[in-house]
Amino acid sequence: MNRNYLLGAYAVLTMVSFFLLTRLQFSFDFEQFFPKGDPDWAFFKEFIEEFENDDNFLLIAVERQEGVFDSTFLSQVHDLTLKAADLPYVTSSNSLTKIQYPLKTPFGITAVPAIHLNAPDFYPTDSARVLQDRRFVNNLISPDGKALVVFLKTVNKNTQEQAETLIASLDSLLATYSFEQTHILGRAYFQDELVWMQKREVAVSTLIAAILTALIIFFIYRRWKTVFIAMTGIGLSLLFFVALLSALGRELNVLAALYPVLICIVGVADTIHITSKYLDELERGLDTGASIRVTIREIGLATFITCITTAIGFASLVTNRTEPIQDFGVNAAIGVIVAFLVIYGWLWAILPRMKAADLIKPTKEYAFWETSMERLYWFTGRNSRRIALFSVGLALVCFYGISKINTNYRLKSNFPRGQKITADFLYFEQKFAGFRPIEIAVFAQNGRSAADYEVLREMDKLEDHLRSYAPIKSIVSINDLYRSLHAMDFGNRPEEYRLPDSLSAFLPYQRMAEKVPGAASEVLLSKDKTKARIAVRMLDVGRDTVVMYQQQIEDWWRRNTDSTVVKFKITGTGLVLDKNSMYIKDNMLQGLIPSVLIVALLMAFLFMDWRLVLIFTVPNVFPLIFAGALIGYMNIPLEAGIATVFSIVFGIATDDTIHFLSAFRIYRSKGHRVEDALHHTMLETGKAMSLSSIILFCSFLVLLFSIHPPSVIVGILVSVTLVGALFCDLLLVPILIRWLIRDKEPPVA
């Protein structure tokens, strides 16, 4: 193809890509993180079809430091409660200003307000009663009496567009009031704010990665033309990649901030290897045309193989059960291939137009790398045994670190640093019952109804046990209705908020409950009344702690409840999300082992020599155990975002090894002895590997500017691990070559 035609095609694709960018979609949904094929997820889907989602709520906390019992403040809260019911996608609203206690009188049942809004003289009595009522404390009022919650029930499974509309309307409504503080918690708020974070992350990571990469390339080559060539190729790669995702209808999720960094590093690695080889050929006296042909012939295949191995590394994530991780793996693999094709074509079209003086200015710093590679070559020759023993010792230390990996992640670790959504989440953790929802499914046994007294008594015992766990701050079940009716008969005294002591005392309340319109039983009992739910909210204490509590609770009900009357099962959003960590830890190697084997087969096809395959494998497994050790020693909880480190490291670390062994094989095929081939490879390819690794290190450190904590951790882990991978290539590979390949054998054909 004529080079000018290719540049013209790039110009057309650029215009089309800018159009497709306008259709790019972002999304966030907790259900995306539910593990596919998991039986608990399958059960929970059936459960919410009979009842409702456990996260279809939005909480609005409003605070008054002097206390909430002030007529002006309460009037505003009441007005907000009434108007919030009319917000889009809100099905109902409630707060203490609307709550009424049932009251039995000689003339029948009436109701009295929990708070007498227009009678401040009652406030001391109201305050004392409300703050002793466990139905309200931690749910609708803070224990210190300084904050109230307006509870909004929203439509089930609201979409991203619905969430954005609801939150925009709520913000406009809250702006009309003069509350000291307002805090929001709930599914729609998470969707709105975390999608904003994703957009911000992509924009910031793209900008900083571009600036940093341009500066590093200029520092290396000292020519702005080289910077322009490299950054244009990388920019086109990113543009075409994102446009392709848009065309395919693939939405960007919380891991999208990694794409610009990945495209930058893949693009820079390809650019440096191709440009360095092109410059080396120019220095040998070839003209520009011949130089690009030699570069394509000798570097092209190796660069193509690195593209494939990197894509395979990312594609290994499709074995993960979590949709965002699967999407990230597929998208990253697509991005690597797009970057290779775009940059390869771009450099093929543009480099022959450049002479050496246009691309690089000789400097002491550039010459430093050749000197360093020379010294490193002799160092590996003189210290082979020491390096090998050190590597074995380090591997043992790494395996111990891997054994220390934990999965005790917290929801708050995924919220953006320094943002209101994080402050709001922590506020509800400190003042109220938190967010983490847990459901306990109740199954009546042997033909009983879940509303029968025997079943309710067993539920009541379990609920009392649940209250013994300090992080559990909110428990709701059908029993609350009967407890309220019982308390009504005793003047609503807090100590009488309990189930009646006998069936005969219970039956009148049961008949009374059946006559109450819109009773809570609509969402707490199944329609056929064979099942019920206990809805729990607890603090964000960490996945491992929750699992421990779950096991303790299950053991307790097996010993202390009658399984012939009722059976229980823990489910809910929190439980299903927690299953991810278990799968991630169990499948951490299961996904990578096939990738390592596939790449090893590719290397066998490329090199046709089992020794080179072994030499390739050892230094590329080492960074994986090193990354695992860092996670263990740094006490970083393993969760979905952090798990991507292994695929990123494997996908990228293989590139340098392939370039090194390909160059060594080429020199051997030209008749060079092992030491001569190794020497030339260290000076030529080792230099390019070092330069590209510096850019890789700095590019991933761009993630330090992220407000998403897992992205920051990924940036640090990958940066440090890739430096380790470089030393594996420059130290271990020469040693393995010397041990396994001898000059008495004929050169590789």
- Per-residue pLDDT of 630-642, as tens digits, reads 999 998 888 777 8
SS3 346: helix
Stronger pLDDT, 218 or 87, i.e. the higher one: 87
Selection from 3-7, 49-53, 270-274, 552-556 with the highest mean pLDDT: 552-556
Query: Residue 256: how many CB atoms within 10 A of its CB?
Result: 24
Query: Residue 180: how many CB atoms within 10 A of its CB?
Result: 12
Work out the average pLDDT over 249-257: 80
| pLDDT tens-digit readout, 588-598 | 556 667 777 77
Phi-psi region of 37 (alpha: psi -120 to 50; beta: other; left: phi over 0): left
Flag whether pLDDT at 521 surpasses 60.
no
SS3 182: strand
What pLDDT, on the 0 to 100 scale, is given for residue 590? 62
Full-model pTM: 0.81
Please report which helix (H) or strand (E) contains residue 531, including its range. Answer: strand 531-538
Work out the average pLDDT over 197-213: 84
Lowest mean pLDDT among 80-94, 259-273, 357-371: 357-371
What pLDDT, on the 0 to 100 scale, is given for residue 484? 86
Flag whether pLDDT at 749 surpasses 50.
no
Q: What are the tokens at 153?
A: 């029930």
Flag whether pLDDT at 420 surpasses 50.
yes
DSSP 706: -
Question: Which pLDDT band holds residue 389 (cuts at 50, 70, 90)?
Answer: very high
Lowest mean pLDDT among 46-55, 132-141, 143-152: 46-55
Flag whether pLDDT at 386 surpasses 50.
yes
Q: CB of 158 within 8 A of CB of 89?
A: yes
| pLDDT tens-digit readout, 656-683 | 888 888 888 888 888 888 889 898 888 8
> How do 472-476 and 436-444 pair as beta strands?
unpaired
Query: Residue 464: how many CB atoms within 10 A of its CB?
Result: 11
What pLDDT, on the 0 to 100 scale, is given for residue 260? 86
Q: What are the tokens at 57?
A: 């709520």
The amino acid occupying position 247 is A
Stronger pLDDT, 168 or 747, i.e. the higher one: 168
Q: CB of 706 within 8 A of CB of 257?
A: yes
Flag whether pLDDT at 363 surpasses 90.
no
Distance CA(574)–CA(437), nearest Å, equals: 6
Work out the average pLDDT over 76-94: 94
Domains of the chain: 57-192 (no CATH), 222-403+587-740 (1.20.1640.10), 432-578 (3.30.70)
Q: CB of 346 within 8 A of CB of 236?
A: yes
SS3 571: strand
Work out the average pLDDT over 295-315: 81
Flag whether pLDDT at 200 surpasses 80.
yes
What pLDDT, on the 0 to 100 scale, is given for residue 557? 95
Q: CB of 648 within 8 A of CB of 262?
A: yes
What pLDDT, on the 0 to 100 scale, is given for residue 72? 93
Work out the average pLDDT over 97-112: 76
Rg of the chain (C-alpha set): 32
What pLDDT, on the 0 to 100 scale, is given for residue 364? 62
Q: CB of 709 within 8 A of CB of 414?
A: yes
Work out the average pLDDT over 128-134: 89
Distance CA(665)–CA(198), nearest Å, equals: 44
Stronger pLDDT, 218 or 63, i.e. the higher one: 63
What pLDDT, on the 0 to 100 scale, is given for residue 588? 59
The amino acid occupying position 456 is L
Q: What are phi and psi of 57, to 5 degrees?
A: -140, 160
Distance CA(395)–CA(681), nearest Å, equals: 27
- Sequence-separated (6 or more) residues with CB below 8 Å from residue 217: 226, 227, 230, 231, 268, 271, 695
Average pLDDT over the chain reads: 85
Instruction: Please classify residue 472 by burial: count the beta carbons closer than 10 Å to its beta carbon, then call 0-12 exposed, 13-18 middle and 19+ buried.
Output: buried
Q: Report the chain's terminal Cα–Cα distance, integer Å.
A: 31
Q: What are the tokens at 364?
A: 């002491």
Q: CB of 424 within 8 A of CB of 412?
A: no
Distance CA(476)–CA(429), nearest Å, equals: 18
| pLDDT tens-digit readout, 700-734 | 888 888 888 888 888 888 888 888 888 888 888 89
Distance CA(746)–CA(609), nearest Å, equals: 13
- Sequence-separated (6 or more) residues with CB below 8 Å from residue 216: 694, 695, 698
Distance CA(555)–CA(557), nearest Å, equals: 6
Query: Residue 325: how many CB atoms within 10 A of its CB?
Result: 27
Flag whether pLDDT at 457 surpasses 50.
yes
DSSP 141: B
What pLDDT, on the 0 to 100 scale, is given for residue 289? 83
| pLDDT tens-digit readout, 30-53 | 677 777 777 888 888 888 888 877
What pLDDT, on the 0 to 100 scale, is given for residue 748? 45
Selection from 32-41, 51-60, 113-122, 410-419 with the highest mean pLDDT: 113-122
Chain position carrying tokens 């130290």? 731
Work out the average pLDDT over 690-694: 78
Q: What are phi and psi of 532, to 5 degrees?
A: -140, 175
Beta bridge pairs of residue 87? none
Work out the average pLDDT over 201-209: 84
